[in-house]
Amino acid sequence: MQDPLKIIQDYVRHPSISTDPEAKEGMVASRDYICNLLSSLGFKTEIAETPLHPLVLAEREGDSSWPHVLLYGHYDVQPADPLELWSSAPFEPEVRGNRVYGRGTADNKGPQIAMILGLARALEKHPDLPVRITVMIEGEEEIGSPSFPGFLEKYQDRLKQADLVILSDTCSPSIDQVTVTTALRGLMALEVTLHGPNVDLHSGLHGGPVMNPIRALAKLCASLHDEQGRVAVPGFYDTVIEPEAWEREQLAALPQDEGTYKQSLGVPAFTPPEGYNALESIRFAPTLEFNGITGGYQGEGSKTIIPSKASVKITCRLVANQDPKDIEAKVVQAIKERCPEGVRLECRVDAGAEAYCVIPPGKPNTPKDQPAVVAKAFTAMDNAVKDVFGKAPLYLREGGSVPIIAQIKTVLGLDSLMLGLFTPEDNLHAPDESFDLTLMQRGIETYEKVFTELGK
């Protein structure tokens, strides 16, 4: 078998920033790289065209009586800016200590390769393993997977035959305690621009009667949270389902200390919304975050202007049973009602994503009609993790979003088994993103066991 580290490094070297129209070359190279790797491992590969970035499909066919597993990953990555905060070039992966650094090492190229190589190892040892596989590696995860629903519709006859989805694009607390993710937050995204005067104005000649768009935007943004840190939009929490007792217990078992966590982030205090402690708020509560704000003079020194406009990028993380369209309507309505006088409001809405929830076998509230292959896969994962890591996984809701998981549930009716193969130390979406090499090895071993067991 090829060296997993070398494969990850070669994969990361292609800057596949899906949000950046100028990164087309890196997108194509990254896609070709994973396609060729899957071919070399014996899969029948195919490029599934989409309106934007194509998916890579890879197939291992077999008897219709065999379990059929979909594997998911994404070859696109987040932008790398601010570049000046990286210790080494984001697309020249470098090993320092027991980690490989680079944009995409942890999200999602590293974990994805661990999963694929674990499967490859199982197939190498058991060439006749009675398991059918369809690998789907998409190129739009970091921009909300706009083409994925269309892909699912187009390929649903083939994909619906499967029993479940397996993937690693979620987080574990540490390399010694992995989690199986039982829920993902959904997403709602919009950009608000307030337009004031038609050009930037001299603040001396015009300052007084003119509403400053930054002032108006600050007032608008400030109105979206209350004094208790909760989102101050009417009806925002109406459909939220609070966690079950066993979920709170699993979270309490997390080997995570709030003080250490706070220190690692470098923040002076945590300010979770009322009703949740700091750790609970990530996994059980929805949020409204400002991802970027801009307006007026951006250079050095001062410039005495009233800017002609100001804008803010907003995303909400949603929990299970919150409908992105419903939340979008409520947030936009609140923004319209609260827009200060003297400016003109422009509101651009991006594609949202549903939240998702699955209940593992053997829990008090496991659905009675859970398919046998799903139960077998979750049990195989539980056993494999116990073998490789020396302790059972924790079953936890996750704060992040993998938009396509809920779409797969809706369109194909399939649940997902998600093993967390990155950790909070990995700096996802931030400078100095990295992936732990021990976790890489353990991931490969775990997946080898899961796929071998599924074939029994």
Residues numbered 324-343 forming contacts with a second copy, rule: CB under 8 A: 340-343
The one segment of 27-35, 148-156, 237-245, 301-309 that binds a second copy by CB under 8 A = 301-309
Binding letters toward a second copy, positions 154-183, x by CB under 8 A: -----------------x------------
21 touching a second copy, by CB under 8 A: yes
Q: How many whole angstroms separate alpha carbon 435 and alpha carbon 99?
A: 5
The one segment of 69-77, 123-131, 241-249, 427-435 that binds a second copy by CB under 8 A = 427-435
Q: For residue 188, report the phi and psi dihedrals to the nearest 5 degrees.
A: -135, 130
Q: Residue 175 burial by CB count (10 A; 0-12/13-18/19+): exposed, middle or buried?
A: buried
Residue (85 or 372) nearer to a second copy, CB? 85
Q: How far is the CB of 313 from a second copy (least distance, A)?
A: 6
The one segment of 52-60, 90-98, 363-371, 425-433 that binds a second copy by CB under 8 A = 425-433
Q: How many whole angstroms separate alpha carbon 252 and alpha carbon 429?
A: 27
The one segment of 33-41, 240-248, 303-311, 379-387 that binds a second copy by CB under 8 A = 303-311
Residue (343 or 374) nearer to a second copy, CB? 343
Q: How many whole angstroms separate alpha carbon 357 and alpha carbon 317?
A: 14
226 touching a second copy, by CB under 8 A: no
**In the range 230-269, which residues lie near a second copy by CB under 8 A?**
265-269
Q: Residue 239 burial by CB count (10 A; 0-12/13-18/19+): exposed, middle or buried?
A: middle
Cβ(414)–Cβ(198) below 8 Å? no
Q: How far is the CB of 81 from a second copy (least distance, A)?
A: 7
Token digits of residue 288: 């409204």
Token digits of residue 359: 């209940």
- Rounded to a whole number, what is the distance in angstroms from the first to the last CA of the chain? 23
Residue (47 or 297) nearer to a second copy, CB? 297
β-bridge mates for residue 40, sequence order: none
CA dihedral sign, ordered 395, 401, 402, 403: positive
The one segment of 111-119, 242-250, 426-434, 439-447 that binds a second copy by CB under 8 A = 426-434
The one segment of 59-67, 110-118, 304-312, 381-389 that binds a second copy by CB under 8 A = 304-312
**In the range 62-101, which residues lie near a second copy by CB under 8 A?**
78-79, 81-82, 85
Residue (107 or 448) nearer to a second copy, CB? 107
Q: How far is the CB of 225 from a second copy (least distance, A)?
A: 6
**In the range 274-293, which residues lie near a second copy by CB under 8 A?**
276, 278-283, 285, 287, 289-293
Among 154, 219, 248, 338, binds a second copy (CB under 8 A): 219
Q: How far is the CB of 401 from a second copy (least distance, A)?
A: 5
Q: How far is the CB of 430 from a second copy (least distance, A)?
A: 4
Q: Residue 340 burial by CB count (10 A; 0-12/13-18/19+): exposed, middle or buried?
A: middle
Q: How many whole angstroms separate alpha carbon 76 and alpha carbon 56?
A: 12
Q: Give the single-character DSSP code of 83.
A: G
Residue (119 or 214) nearer to a second copy, CB? 214
Residue indicated by tokens 């947030």: 331
- The size of the chain, in residues, is 456
Residue (142 or 163) nearer to a second copy, CB? 142
**In the range 128-157, which residues lie near a second copy by CB under 8 A?**
143-144
344 touching a second copy, by CB under 8 A: yes
Residue (339 or 414) nearer to a second copy, CB? 339
Three-state DSSP class for residue 18: coil
**In the range 432-451, which residues lie near a second copy by CB under 8 A?**
432
Among 271, 321, 333, 410, binds a second copy (CB under 8 A): 271
β-bridge mates for residue 202, sequence order: 305
Q: Residue 320 burial by CB count (10 A; 0-12/13-18/19+): exposed, middle or buried?
A: buried
The one segment of 2-10, 67-75, 110-118, 211-219 that binds a second copy by CB under 8 A = 211-219
19 touching a second copy, by CB under 8 A: yes
Token digits of residue 109: 């190229």
CA distances from 306 to 63, 219, 300, 326 (A): 69, 16, 17, 35
Cis peptide bond prior to 277, omega within 30° of 0: no
Q: For residue 306, report the phi and psi dihedrals to the nearest 5 degrees.
A: -100, 115
**In the range 191-210, which residues lie near a second copy by CB under 8 A?**
191, 196-210
Q: How many residues bind a second copy (CB under 8 A)?
A: 102
